[in-house]
A and B are shown apart, each in its own frame.
Chain A
Amino acid sequence: AMDTDLSSQDRKDLDKFIKFFALKTVQVIVQARLGEKICTLSSSSPTGSDWFNLAIKDIPEVTHEAKKALAGQLPAVGRSMCVEISLKTSEGDSMELEIWCLEMNEKCDKEIKVSYTVYNRLSLLLKSLLAITRVTPAYRLSRKQGHEYVILYRIYFGEVQLSGLGEGFQTVRVGTVGTPVGTITLSCAYRINLAFMSTRQFERTPPIMGIIIDHFVDRPYPSSSPMHPCNYRAGEDNGAVYPSVEDSQEVCTTSFSTSPPSQCVFTVTKAHFQTPPPVVTDTLKVPVMGLAFSHQLSSSRLSYQPAALGVGSADMGYPVLFAGGLNAAHPHQLIGPSKEGGVPPIPSQPAHGTQADQERMCTPLDGVHYSAATPSSSEDTETVSNSSEGKCGSPHDLLETIFIRKVGAFVNKPINQVTMANLDIPFAMFAPKNVELEDNDPMVNPPDSPETESPLQGSLHSEGSSGSSTGNTHDDFVMIDFKPAFSKDDILPMDLGTFYREFQNPPQLSSLSIDIGAQSMAEDLDSLPEKLAVHEKNVKEFDAFVETLQ
Chain B
Amino acid sequence: PRRTHRRAPSRATPAMNCRAEVLEVSVEGRQVEEAMLAVLHTVLLHRSTGKFHYKKEGTYSIGTVGTQDVDCDFIDFAYVRVSSEELDRALRKAVGEFKDALRNSGSDGMGQISLEFYQKKKSRWPFSDECIPWELWTIKVNVVNLANEQERQICREKVGEKLCEKIINIVEVMNRHEYLPKMPTQSEVDNVFDTSLKDVQPYLYKISYQITDSLGTSVTTTMRRLIKDTLAL
Mark A residues whose CB is within 8 Å of B.
37-47, 50, 53-55, 109, 111-112, 116-117, 121, 124-125, 127-128, 130-132, 134-136, 139-140, 143, 172-178, 301
Interface residues on B, range: 35 or more
Q: A132-B168, A143-B78 are in contact. Are A46 and B83 (CB under 8 A)?
A: no
In addition to A54-B65, A132-B167, 19 A-B residue pairs with Cβ atoms within 8 Å of each other are A37-B68, A37-B69, A42-B50, A43-B66, A44-B50, A44-B51, A45-B53, A46-B53, A46-B61, A46-B64, A47-B64, A54-B66, A111-B4, A121-B177, A128-B46, A131-B45, A131-B79, A132-B168, A139-B78
Q: How far is the CA of A550 from the CA of B32 in the complex (A)?
A: 52
Min Cβ gap A186→B in Å is 9
Asked if A42 and B78 make an inter-chain contact with CB atoms under 8 angstroms apart, the answer reads no
B62 at the interface (CB under 8 A from A): yes
Which listed residue (A45, A116, A130, A173) contacts B172, Cβ 8 A? A173
* Contact status of A53 and B63, CB under 8 A, knowing A39-B68, A40-B68, A44-B198: yes
| A128 engages B65 (CB within 8 Å) | no
A–B complex contacts, Cβ < 8 Å, 13 sampled: A37-B71, A38-B67, A43-B63, A44-B198, A44-B200, A45-B63, A53-B62, A55-B67, A130-B67, A130-B80, A132-B168, A136-B164, A139-B78
Q: Chain A residues near B53 (CB, 8 Å)?
A: 44-46
Does B50 lie within 8 Å of A124, measured CB to CB? no
B49 at the A/B interface (Cβ < 8 Å)? yes
Contact of B65 among A39, A45, A55, A136 (CB under 8 A): A55
User: For B90, what are the chain A residues with a Cβ–Cβ distance below 8 Å?
Assistant: none
Which B residue sits closest to A130, measured CB to CB? B80
A131 adjacent to B84 (CB under 8 Å): no
With A55-B65, A175-B171 already in contact, the answer to whether A39 and B83 are too (CB < 8 A) is yes
**CB under 8 Å from chain A, chain B span 25-83:** 42, 45-46, 49-51, 53, 61-69, 71, 76, 78-80, 82-83
> CB distance A42 to B80 under 8 Å?
no
Residue among B50, B53, B170 having the largest count of chain A Cβ atoms under 10 Å: B50
Measured between beta carbons, the chain B residues less than 8 angstroms from A42 are: 50, 63-66, 82-84, 199-200
Q: With contacts A42-B83, A53-B50, A134-B80 known, is A128 near B171, CB below 8 A?
A: yes
B83 touches A55 (CB 8 A): yes
Write the chain A residue with the least CB distance to B165.
A135
- 10 nearest A-B pairs in the assembled complex, by CB-CB distance: A175-B175, A135-B164, A37-B69, A55-B66, A40-B66, A39-B68, A42-B199, A42-B66, A44-B51, A50-B64
Residue B2 at the chain A interface, CB threshold 8 Å: yes
In chain B, what residue has the closest Cβ to A45? B63
- Within 8 Å by CB of A39, from B2, B4, B66, B79, lies B66
| Residues of B with C-beta under 8 A to A131 | 42, 45-46, 79-80, 167, 170-171
List chain B residues, Cβ under 8 A from A37: 68-69, 71, 78
B50 close to A46 (CB less than 8 A): yes
Question: Which chain B residues lie closer than 8 Å to A116 at the CB level?
Answer: 183
CB A41 to nearest CB in B, in angstroms, measures 4
Known: A131-B167, A135-B167, A173-B175. A41 touches B79 (CB 8 A): no
**A112 lies within 8 A of B83 (CB):** no
Task: Report the minimal beta-carbon distance from A210 to chain B, rounded to whole angstroms.
Answer: 20
Closest residue of A by beta carbon distance from B170: A131
| Contact yes or no, A53 B2, CB < 8 A | no
B58 to chain A, nearest CB (A): 13
Contact of A127 among B46, B71, B183 (CB under 8 A): B46
CB of B131 within 8 A of chain A?
no
Most chain A CB within a 10 A radius of its CB, from B51, B64, B78: B64
Does B227 lie at the interface of the complex (its beta carbon under 8 Å from any beta carbon of A)? no
Bitwise, B161-187 to A at CB < 8 A (1) or not (0) is: 001100110111011010000010000
Contacts of B84 in A (CB 8 A): 42
B171 touches A132 (CB 8 A): yes
Nearest chain B CB to A269 CB, angstrom units: 38
CB distance from B166 to the nearest CB of A (A): 9
Distance, CA A112 to CA B177, complexed state (A): 12
- Measured CB to CB, the closest approach of chain A to B41, in angstroms, equals 9
Asked if B171 and A112 sit within 8 Å, CB to CB, the answer is no
Complex Cα distance, B42 from A140, in Å, reads 18
Interface centre among A42, A45, A130, A173 (most CB of B within 10 A): A42
Determine whether the beta carbon of B46 is less than 8 Å from that of A38: no
**Once the chains bind, are B78 and A175 in contact (CB under 8 Å)?**
no
Shortest A127–chain B CB gap in Å is 5
Complex contact B164–A130 (CB within 8 A): no
* B79 contact set on A, CB distance < 8 A: 131, 134
Which of A38, A109, A132, A134 has the largest number of chain B CB atoms within 10 A?
A: A134
Residues of A within 8 A of B42 (CB): 131
Are A39's CB and B69's CB within 8 A? yes
CB of B174 within 8 A of CB of A124, answer yes
Chain A residues closer than 8 Å to B50, beta-carbon distance: 42-44, 46, 53
Q: Is the CB of B167 within 8 A of A44?
A: no
Please, how many angstroms separate the alpha-carbon atoms of A183 and B50 in the complex?
Answer: 26
Residue pair B175, A128 in contact (C-beta under 8 Å): yes
**For residue B83, which residues in chain A have a CB less than 8 angstroms away from its CB?**
39-42, 55
Chain B residue numbers with a CB within 8 Å of A132 are 167-168, 171
A181 to chain B, nearest CB (A): 15
In angstroms, Cα B199 to Cα A45, docked, is 9
Question: B69: shortest Cβ distance to chain A, in Å?
Answer: 4
Chain A residues, CB < 8 A from B45: 127, 130-131
CB distance from A69 to the nearest CB of B (A): 25
Least CB distance from A234 to B in Å reads: 37
Determine the chain A residues whose CB is within 8 A of the CB of B63 once the complex forms: 42-46, 53
Distance (whole angstroms) from the CB of A180 to the closest CB of chain B: 11
Given contacts A46-B53, A55-B83, contact A176 B65 (CB under 8 A): no
Option from A39, A45, A121, A134 in Cβ contact (under 8 Å) with B78: A134
User: A41-B83, A46-B53 are known contacts. Are A124 and B46 too (CB-CB below 8 A)?
Assistant: yes
- Residues from chain A with a CB closer than 8 A to the CB of B183 are 116
List chain B residues, Cβ under 8 A from A117: 4
**Other-chain contact of A140, B49, B68, B76, B175 (Cβ < 8 Å):** B76
**Is B67's CB under 8 angstroms from A40's CB?**
yes
Tell me which residues across on chain B come within 8 A of A136, comparing CB atoms. Answer: 164
How far, in Å, is A380 (CB) from chain B's closest CB?
A: 21
The distance in angstroms between the C-alpha atoms of A174 and B53, with both chains bound, is 30
- What residue of chain A has the Cβ atom nearest to residue B76's Cβ? A140
The contact of A178 among B2, B170, B172, by CB within 8 Å, is B2
Inter-chain contacts of A139 with B (CB < 8 A): 78
- How far does the Cβ of A99 sit from chain B's closest Cβ, in whole Å? 17
Asked if residues B64 and A55 are in contact (CB atoms below 8 Å), the reply is yes
Bound: A43/B53 CA distance, A:
12
Interface centre among B66, B78, B199, B200 (most CB of A within 10 A): B66
Q: Which residues of chain A come closer than 8 Å to B62, judged between CB atoms?
A: 46, 53
Chain B: CB-nearest residue to A143: B78
B5 to chain A, nearest CB (A): 9
Residues in A with CB closer than 8 Å to B76 are: 140
Nearest CB of chain B from residue A454's CB, rounded to whole Å: 54
